[in-house]
């Protein structure tokens, strides 16, 4: 058989062989579309507009991102998240498997540096060629009776399930423990500290401490037991309140008003001897 005959014979069988090899591979590929400009993905965000206050722990700037697959097959969605330079975003990408007709959500936190001027900025959300512009309104810092509200908290440690800002975010509801509040990350190890360093001397004359105290988690069982309230002026700390064997949920401390640089709790023990649990720490000038 000459070389031409061999080539002709090989040509007859090659397409069939390739087809047979490709068929099992095709069966292994799932019926999932790849997100792109031709996919049907609806982009959403709530609330609109979102409002932000230029304080590091103020409870604002929370946006819920959403993608809904309006096509006929499950797909993978990749949302690109960007914002004006004045905005700090907690994420720049949101990727998820998207079943048909189901809204898939993800959180986005937006903050701005202290001193940012009131203005309207924009967060841009895009999936392929589809885009959504979300207005972000920077509000003036509100007048606050509670001088710790929204200020940057500092702590000896913070449990991974909690937020450092949880004790100065204005939420005083113990029933919402977990969604708000603070506790340390060192079980059974004391002392723990939690407080605020002011950016400039601030006059205060009253501090209110609220520990965990709900029907499910009463202060006598889960609240802080032995603790001190301190203020700092310059490098000098002054104890303005001492509590021992506490079983109450809310504890005020009143003293002669003074200009201070910091307010701090020093917790020596809790009623379960486990964690220091704070719902809210407040300070007032009278």
pLDDT in tens, 176-227: 998 899 999 999 999 999 999 999 999 999 999 999 999 999 999 999 999 9
Q: Are 135 and 61 in contact (CB under 8 A)?
A: no
Confidence label for 60 from pLDDT (cuts 50, 70 and 90) = confident
Dihedrals φ, ψ of 70, to 5°? Answer: -100, 10
Q: Are 86 and 112 in contact (CB under 8 A)?
A: yes
Write down the pLDDT at residue 35.
Answer: 44
In angstroms, the CA 67 to CA 40 distance is 10
Distance from CA of residue 232 to its chain's centroid?
29
Write down the pLDDT at residue 22.
Answer: 45
In angstroms, the CA 170 to CA 208 distance is 12
The residue-averaged pLDDT of 261-270 equals: 98
Write down the pLDDT at residue 175.
Answer: 95
What tokens does 60 get? Answer: 């604002």
In Å, what is the CA distance from 213 to each residue of 41, 177, 187, 221, 227?
Answer: 45, 9, 19, 9, 16
In angstroms, the CA 211 to CA 181 distance is 9
Write down the pLDDT at residue 237.
Answer: 98
How do residues 4-36 score in pLDDT, each as one tens digit?
Answer: 454 454 444 444 444 444 444 433 334 444 444
How do residues 162-176 score in pLDDT, each as one tens digit?
Answer: 999 999 999 999 999
Q: Are 54 and 116 in contact (CB under 8 A)?
A: yes
Confidence label for 283 from pLDDT (cuts 50, 70 and 90) = very high
Percentage of the chain surpassing pLDDT 90? 83
Q: Residue 67's beta-bridge partner residues?
A: 43, 104
| CA nearest to 52, candidates 105, 82, 88 | 88
Write down the pLDDT at residue 6.
Answer: 44
pTM: 0.78
| 2 vs 272, residue with greater confidence | 272
In angstroms, the CA 266 to CA 213 distance is 19
């Amino acid at each position: 058989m000459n070389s031409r005959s061999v080539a002709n014979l090989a040509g007859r069988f090659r397409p069939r062989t390739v087809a047979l090899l490709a068929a099992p591979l095709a069966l292994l590929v799932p019926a999932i579309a790849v997100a792109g400009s031709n996919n049907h993905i609806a982009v959403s965000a709530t609330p609109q507009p979102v409002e932000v206050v230029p304080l590091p722990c103020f409870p604002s700037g929370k946006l819920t991102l959403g993608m809904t697959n309006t096509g006929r097959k499950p797909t993978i969605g990749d949302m690109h998240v960007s914002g004006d330079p004045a905005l700090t975003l907690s994420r720049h990408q949101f990727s998820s498997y998207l079943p048909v007709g189901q809204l898939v959500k993800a959180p986005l936190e937006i903050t701005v540096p202290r001193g940012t001027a009131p203005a309207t900025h924009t967060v841009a959300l895009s999936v392929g060629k589809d885009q959504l512009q979300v207005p972000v309104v920077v509000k003036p810092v509100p007048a606050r009776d509670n001088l710790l509200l929204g200020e940057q908290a500092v702590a000896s440690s913070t449990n991974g399930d909690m937020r450092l800002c949880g004790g100065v975010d204005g939420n005083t509801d113990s029933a919402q423990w977990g969604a708000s509040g603070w506790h340390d990350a060192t079980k059974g190890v004391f002392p723990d500290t939690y407080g605020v360093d002011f950016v400039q001397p601030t006059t205060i004359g009253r501090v209110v401490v609220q520990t965990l105290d709900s029907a499910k988690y009463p202060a006598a069982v889960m609240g802080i037991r032995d603790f001190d309230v301190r203020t700092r002026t310059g490098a000098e700390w002054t104890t303005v309140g001492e509590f021992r064997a506490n079983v109450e949920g809310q504890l005020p401390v009143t003293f002669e008003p003074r200009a201070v640089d910091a307010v701090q709790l020093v917790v020596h023990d809790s009623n379960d001897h486990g964690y220091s649990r704070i719902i809210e720490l407040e300070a007032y000038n009278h």
